[in-house]
Amino acid sequence: QAVRVCLCLGILATAFAGMRQPEECAGLTCSENRILKYNGTCHCELNPCHQRHCTDANYPVLDFEYDHRGNINCFCTKPCPHNLCGGQRKPVECASKGFSCPADEHPILMLEEGQCVCKSHPCQVARKARCDNPALPWNDYHYDSTGHLDCFCRQHPCPNFACNATSATPVVKWDQEGNCFCAPPSSKQEL
C-alpha cells in the first residue's frame, strides 16, 4: 500500500523519462519537444507526444514513457530532480496527493484501476542489472517502444544528501525519480 510521505525536492533541470539520454551524447541537449537519440551520431528527434501541450504551471514538462507492452503514455509532469529521470515516473494523480513507496520490496509507485499502488521493481522481477558498483548504485530502467525492458545502473542521484545519524533513519535512499530521503537500515540493496 502506498504511504504518504513528505519529501524535500531539489529540482534543477528537465529531461525526458521516456528515453534515457545516450551515454555517447553526454552534455548535449535538444530544443523543446525533441529528444536526444544516438545511431552512430547524436541527433534530435521529435518527441512522440509533441502534439500534446502542458498548461498547468505545476506540471510544465511534456514527458512520455512506454509500458511493458510497448504502449506509449504521454503526460505532463514536474521537472526531473538533479536532471535525472528514473524509470517509470510517479503518476501525477498519486504524487500530487503525497503518495510514495519507501519499502524495498515494492518501491515503484503506479496507478492501477484508479488506485495508487506500490509495485516490485521490474529489474528485480526480471533479475536484470544488479548494481553492485558503489559508483553506480541506482538500478534504473525504461521500456522501449516494443516493450523491451532495459535495466541499467546510474550514478547516485544525490551524493551530497546526508541523513542525521539516528538509529531510526540513518540510510540515504531514493525513489524511482531520484528524490532522496532518509530511511531505516535494510538488509536489501537500495534501488
- pLDDT over 70 percentage in the chain: 79
pLDDT of residue 11: 23
Q: Hey, is 25 helix, strand or coil? A: helix
> Is it the case that residue 2 has pLDDT exceeding 50?
no
Tell me the Ramachandran region of residue 176: left when phi exceeds 0, alpha when psi lies from -120 to 50, beta otherwise.
alpha
Q: How far is CA 27 from CA 22, 23, 94, 106, in A?
A: 10, 9, 32, 33
Q: Which of 9-13, 53-57, 90-94, 172-176 has the lowest mean pLDDT?
A: 9-13
Residue 12 or residue 163, greater confidence: 163
In whole angstroms, give the CA distance from residue 94 to residue 114: 10
Query: Quick one: pLDDT band at residue 95, thresholds 50, 70, 90?
Result: confident
> Is it the case that residue 10 has pLDDT exceeding 50?
no
Residue 9 or residue 168, greater confidence: 168
Closest C-alpha to 131, from 150, 148, 149, 152: 152
pLDDT of residue 141: 83
- pTM as predicted: 0.60
Task: Give me the chain's average pLDDT, please.
Answer: 74
